[in-house]
Amino acid sequence: MSAAADRRSPLAAALGWLGAAVRGLRGERDSEGGPLPVRDFVNVSTAQPSRLMGFDQTLVWVTVGLLLAGLIMVYSATIGLPDSPRFANYSPTHFVTRHLMSIAMAIAVSAVVTQIPMATWERVAPWLFVLSLVLLILVLIPHVGKVVYGARRWLPLGIMNFQPSELAKLAITLYASDYMVRKMDVKEHFFRAVAPMAVAVGVVGLLLLAEPDMGAFMVIATIAMSILFLGGVNGRMFFLITAVLLGAFTLMVTLSPWRRERIFAYLDPWSEKNALGKAYQLTHSLIAFGRGEVFGEGLGSSLEKLHYLPEAHTDFLLAVIGEEMGFIGVATVIIAFFWLVVRLFNIGRQAIALDRVFSGLVAQGVAVWMGGQGFINMGVNLGVLPTKGLTLPLMSFGGSGVMLNCIALAICLRVDMENRQLMRGGRA
């Protein structure tokens, strides 16, 4: 009898954790009288249980689909670049070949990452954050960091240019999640719970603004803020931090002449001065969407990519999709990203319900990362937001960006795999 009880004990423990979490979501107290330690937004009565597979196959296929669609559109956006004097020494397949190599490396590394337990990521999170700080400092050293268009953001590694800000996004996601687990008992005390994290984000922000890379800082600040909120930081304090950050961004724009000009150009992009200056990319992006209409001009038929729209294969890839694939193509991409973000939040919610707070916050932090950066990139392309140098996750050309996006999603896949193991009665 005792042997049978021992065999059932892991499943009983998992069900006990799940039951306690559900009671917490309903506002009940746990056995010790404490509330659920993190925020979670889910209707328990309609929550659907995961299918008991080894991993989330749909998540994998949606990710692969976005990668392949990005590969096709990068090829379409760059095939005509050798006609320009700037790219005269490049072959028509130069960019697509490099992008394909980046995807292959990213998939290979991601396959390894899925084998790393979340407990290991929790242990190395502070050290990964320190490594990202070191690389952000290193990229600012003359003759070490590579300068492109006046920005020093890349470390040349021979086969690819590595962008430390991409690693910083993953590092802040893991570090903030680990931080909230360690500070769970003092989350109601503002200075004890929030101040150290604010200092960490501030240091990263100063290094990114020195490159300069305000777009990456906005994404990192959004990730950190979201994890603090989801981790249960006092709501009033959260809104206070939000107000301080908005004030800081407003001050940075006000004190920076070229950022002010970009905002003014965004507000009036069609004036002659702005259309030929700061709003040049925006106006040609809007022209591309206008030409695409509902069904698009057809794959490979974009005119704006032919030296009219700068950085069509990186920051403005969605504009090429809009011109060639029309509203249907753009809507498909938006729906795919929306599904991806919702699924990652569900994985995080499920991990939290199984009493795995760190894993849950990591998955939800990655959801904020993918959703936030994707929203900013799409907003810039569509003229909803001022122009920022942010790529479209998983799709735009960029080796380090694709690599870190895939690693982050592989970590979330690992979270889901461990969730399923626990639900079977095993151990994560």
pLDDT per residue over 298-326, tens digit each? 998 899 998 888 889 999 999 999 999 99
| pLDDT at position 238 over 50 | yes
Mean pLDDT over residues 179-190, rounded? 71
Token couple for 160:
């690819």
On whether the CB atoms of residues 160 and 399 are closer than 8 A, the answer is yes
pLDDT digits (tens, 9 = 90+) for 41-78: 444 344 444 444 578 899 999 999 999 999 999 999 99
On whether the CB atoms of residues 37 and 184 are closer than 8 A, the answer is yes
Mean pLDDT lowest among 140-154, 270-284, 315-329, 344-358:
140-154
Mean pLDDT over residues 180-204, rounded? 75
| pLDDT at position 122 over 90 | yes
pLDDT value of position 156 = 86
pLDDT value of position 367 = 97
The C-alpha angle 306, 309, 311, rounded to 5 degrees, equals 105
pLDDT bracket for residue 116 (50, 70, 90): very high
On whether the CB atoms of residues 410 and 113 are closer than 8 A, the answer is yes
Q: Omega into 156 within 30° of 0, i.e. cis?
A: no
If one compares 177 and 25, the residue with the highest pLDDT of the two is 177
SS3 content of the chain, % helix, strand, coil (to 5): 70, 5, 30
Report the 10 Å Cβ neighbour count for 77: 30
If one compares 283 and 212, the residue with the highest pLDDT of the two is 283
Question: Can you say how many angstroms the Cα of residue 125 is from the centroid of all Cα atoms in its chain?
Answer: 17
Whole-angstrom Cα distance, residue 17 to residue 11? 10
pLDDT value of position 19 = 47
pLDDT value of position 352 = 93
Whole-angstrom Cα distance, residue 194 to residue 237? 9
Closest C-alpha to 69, from 416, 410, 271, 336: 336
pLDDT value of position 318 = 95
Q: Report the length, in residues, of the chain.
A: 428
- What average pLDDT does the chain have? 83
Range picked from 114-123, 222-231, 252-261, 296-305 for highest mean pLDDT: 114-123
Q: What percent of the chain has pLDDT over 70?
A: 84
pLDDT bracket for residue 157 (50, 70, 90): confident
pLDDT bracket for residue 38 (50, 70, 90): low
If one compares 187 and 270, the residue with the highest pLDDT of the two is 270
What is the torsional sign of CA 310, 311, 317, 320? positive
Mean pLDDT over residues 29-51, rounded? 46
pLDDT value of position 311 = 85
Residue where the block lists tokens 């209707």: 43
pLDDT bracket for residue 264 (50, 70, 90): confident
What is the torsional sign of CA 53, 58, 59, 61? positive
| pLDDT at position 103 over 90 | yes
The C-alpha angle 202, 180, 42, rounded to 5 degrees, equals 115
DSSP result, 123-178: HHHHHHHHHHHHHHHHTTSTTTSEEETTEEEEEE-SSSEE-HHHHHHHHHHHHHHH
Q: Phi and psi for 256 in degrees, rounded to 5?
A: -110, 110
pLDDT value of position 147 = 79
Mean pLDDT over residues 398-419, rounded? 94
| pLDDT at position 7 over 80 | no
Mean pLDDT over residues 322-338, rounded? 96
Whole-angstrom Cα distance, residue 190 to residue 169? 24
pLDDT value of position 29 = 44
pLDDT value of position 190 = 62
Mean pLDDT lowest among 54-68, 85-99, 238-252, 299-313:
238-252
If one compares 84 and 409, the residue with the highest pLDDT of the two is 409
